[in-house]
Amino acid sequence: MLDLLSDILTRLSLRGTFYFRTSFTPPFGIQVPRFENVARFHFVQRGELKVYVSTTGETLRLRQGDLILIPHGAPHALLCAEVKPLDALPLEQVLEVAGYTGDGVLVYGGNDEERDTQLICGHFSFTGPAGRQGTGHMLIDRLPPYILIENYGEEAGSWIESTLRMIGSEVSGTRIGGDLIALKLSEVLFAQAIRTYLERQSPGDAALAGFADTRISRALTAFHQAPANDWSVATLARESGMSRTAFAQLFAEKMGTTPMQYLTDWRMQIACHGLTEARWNVADAAAEVGYASEAAFSRVFKKQVGLSPAAYRAMH
């Protein structure tokens, strides 16, 4: 699963963007707005708070050492025990009241300093193909509205606490290169949090059942390792250890799409990434994703993305 996940996150052009540390004292309530193609995280370095997730209507209680990941940039509220979601102020207003300019710690709230809540907050942006909804891969698009990881220790994953302590240390210090190190560590954090979530899924879980199924995962891993190969349903089925018919049926049932449509979607994502990040020309892109001719590749690309490869490259 790690190799598969690594390829997906790399091709999606994940950008870890650290944005602030906080010191909140009751009473406080902050409404964080919606952002498209963005995942957010909040790590409780000290104290506790409530997090209200608007898309589910749930109010979660986080304590010191807990982390919440909000994969789809959904609106949410950060609250002390006494404040209700409707009473929280918009983030922009909080920043203005606090006089926060983007440097140092965002300090906000009342005078109850003994109940100080300190958070490390960050977000990750994705570069998805133009003309399509979501990040560009169903694994990310099908993550739940939030992922809460708590009770740090050996069972829950001691790596998260260590990573976040390093982020906090780099951001709060003045050593050269601290901002870049914190940013890269936060990218690692995002990948590790998703890996932990996926490893806890069972094959019966609807949204990500295919990635939890070992047979489908074997086929996906083989494809992601060599996307330009001449893949077919038969060769993918062989990688999974199943018959062609059984594999096609299982894939459609678990993934909600056909094997060949998945291959086409991901090849176009690779092409989008290469055209913008690696500055491929159209011929390079066609060859990298397994098309013998530029014309055939361009037809499929325009159908999937809504633009010709040359227009997409020029736009970005």
pLDDT of 101-115, one tens digit each?
A: 877 789 999 988 888
What is the CA 60 to chain-centroid distance, rounded?
A: 20
Alpha helix positions (H), the chain: 2-11, 91-98, 138-141, 158-172, 178-199, 209-212, 214-225, 233-240, 244-255, 259-277, 282-288, 294-305, 309-315
Residues 193, 71: contact at Cβ < 8 Å?
no
Of the candidates 9, 56, 3, 49, the one whose C-alpha atom is nearest the C-alpha of residue 30 is 49
Assigned token pair, 39 = 């995942």
Share of the chain above pLDDT 70, in %: 87
pLDDT confidence of 243, banded at 50, 70, 90? Answer: very high
Of the candidates 185, 16, 21, 15, the one whose C-alpha atom is nearest the C-alpha of residue 102 is 21
pLDDT confidence of 207, banded at 50, 70, 90? Answer: low
**Of residues 154 and 84, more confidently modeled:** 84
Domain ranges in the chain with CATH number 2.60.120.10: 2-199
What's the CATH class of domain 2-199?
Answer: mainly beta
pLDDT at 126 over 80: no
pLDDT at 40 over 50: yes
Residues 215, 259: contact at Cβ < 8 Å?
no
**Residue 303, C-beta contacts closer than 8 angstroms, at least 6 positions apart:** none
pLDDT at 273 over 70: yes
**Of residues 304 and 6, more confidently modeled:** 304
For residues 201 and 214, give the distance between their C-alpha atoms in angstroms, rounded to a whole number: 12
Residues 57, 208: contact at Cβ < 8 Å?
no
Q: Which listed CATH number (1.10.10.60, 3.40.190.10, 3.40.109.10, 3.30.450.90) goes with 209-315? A: 1.10.10.60
pLDDT confidence of 130, banded at 50, 70, 90? Answer: very low
Say what the alpha-carbon torsion angle 248, 249, 252, 258 is, to the nearest 10 degrees.
Answer: 30
Domain ranges in the chain with CATH number 1.10.10.60: 209-315
Least-confidence region, from 47-51, 78-82, 278-282: 278-282
**Residue 117, C-beta contacts closer than 8 angstroms, at least 6 positions apart:** 22, 23, 24, 25, 28, 44, 46, 47, 48, 49, 80
pLDDT confidence of 134, banded at 50, 70, 90? Answer: very low
pLDDT at 16 over 60: yes
Least-confidence region, from 75-79, 95-99, 129-133: 129-133
pLDDT on residue 241: 96
Helix (H, G, I), strand (E, B) or coil at 281: coil
